[in-house]
Chain A
Amino acid sequence: MTLEPFPDEALLALVARGTEEALGVLYDRYAGAVLGLARRMGFDRAAQEDCMQEVFYRIWNRAGSFDPRKASGRSWVLAVAHHYCVDRVRTEASRPKALEPFPDEEHTEDPFDLPGLDEENALNRVRIAAALQSLSPEERAVIEALHYQGHTYPEAARVLGIPLGTLKSRAGRALQKLREVLSET
């Protein structure tokens, strides 16, 4: 008896109905991503574990609001995780410092050397790192400030010292480029 072959959308429907096993399968699929995101945003070990617990608790409680017309199961789960981390980072008295800024060419971390990282996630890391390299340094800085440091766009404009309009257009252009590059890989 296993739910593992189920797509994320079906698992979320089952979670909404109270099937604990379905949440367990989603945990197995996304725990590494949630933990990686919490690490990347600079939380310490205890806060990373809090994030894990809170994110999956939110998924349990909010799966009923998942609407497959607006998001895939994967993007919904990861949006719940990102939203929680961003909320937390914005409310922490001392804002955590995001880890590992975008890797420079000369010291790129080899994801296949990370013990315990499965092949699929290692490939994902390679794919995203390559896509990010297709952005200009200015566009990467915007993605870093918004997505990985959790700044609102007015904060990010201030931190980066650029006008709001410039930040908005860079963010839109960066996502569009990433979308195009990732759709080809």
Chain B
Amino acid sequence: MKPEKLRELLPLYALDALPEDERQAVEAFLERHPELWDELMALRETAADLSQGVSAPSPGPELKARVMGRIAGAKPGLEPAPVRLSPKEAVKVRPQAPRWVVGIAAVFALLALGWGGYRAYPWLEWLQASKNPQAHVETLVDENQQPIGRAIFLPNGRTLVYAELPPPPPGKTYQLWGVNQTEHVGLDTFQGGLIVFQMPQGHPIVHITEERSGGSKTPTQLRAFTLEN
């Protein structure tokens, strides 16, 4: 598909008016052309205005109770395969929420929620990192090459990894490694989910291994990894 053809289809994509095969073709094209995301975002905002412009009075509390009852205690679904971007495709991002809004949200999280806020903070940092135009995003895959999460690398070495892993067996833990062509550098241990850590310079690849509690000096059982950075 040529960019001019894509531009013709983009308004129809934003309006959900493409047949399934063309919708998939547009999505595949967009993955390879992040320079078009600003345009897509603007069209989506207009489509959202059209949807919000027919708002009805809010339904009664019974319906909310049913909606909330349906998800009560359920775990959200595993996030689908994340977007992979090469360094050359580092995206020029137009942030949707100003940084100060995210900052205020983080302060609210910490002040208003106490422990809950503390637990939410890494996700707010994740949100900020994903808006960083210099961030580099990589898919995290398991030993079968199936996507199980993603890693966000920031230029200052700060790295955020989200890994959808089962709880480690009793007496075991997951350990992060910074990897290059010659060595593995042992980093933090964690239990899966989201972790934020400092990547050693010159180690562009993340490995996650299963180790005994407390971690190891050398990697034992590889459970997940990024392909490149």
* A binding-site residues for B, Cβ under 8 Å: 1-3, 5-10, 13-20, 23-24, 27-28, 31-33, 35-37, 39-40, 49, 52-53, 56-57, 60-65, 67-76, 78-79, 81-83, 86, 114-118, 121, 124-125, 127-129, 131-132, 143, 146-148, 150-154, 156, 168, 171-172, 175-176, 178-179, 182
Contact = CB atoms under 8 A, between A and B. Distances in A.
B76 A64 contact: yes
29 contacts: A5-B105, A7-B101, A10-B102, A10-B109, A18-B76, A23-B68, A27-B67, A37-B51, A39-B54, A56-B71, A60-B77, A61-B77, A64-B79, A65-B79, A67-B130, A68-B130, A69-B131, A70-B41, A72-B44, A74-B48, A75-B47, A117-B56, A128-B49, A129-B53, A146-B16, A175-B14, A178-B49, A179-B45, A182-B46
B19 A152 contact: yes
A85 to B, nearest CB: 9
B1 interface: no
Interface string B62-104: 0110111011101111111001000000010101110001101
A73 B63 CA distance: 23
Interface residues of B, number: 73
Interface stretch (B121-129, B169-177, B201-209): B121-129
Contact of B53 (A2, A128, A172): A128
A129 B112 CA distance: 39
Contacts of B41: 70-72, 75
Contacts of A81: 51
Given A27-B64, A39-B56, A61-B77, A13 B17 contact: no
A7 B120 CA distance: 14
B76 A73 contact: no
Given A37-B54, A69-B91, A70-B44, 12 more contacts: A13-B126, A32-B58, A33-B52, A35-B56, A62-B79, A64-B76, A65-B80, A70-B41, A128-B49, A143-B15, A148-B50, A175-B15
B194 interface: yes
A43 to B, nearest CB: 12
B104 to A, nearest CB: 7
A151 B34 CA distance: 28
B37 A15 contact: no
Contacts of B18: 152-153
Contacts of A63: 76
A124 B55 contact: yes
A116 B153 CA distance: 47
A69 B123 contact: no
B109 to A, nearest CB: 8
A89 B44 CA distance: 20
Contacts of B75: 18
Contacts of A150: 16
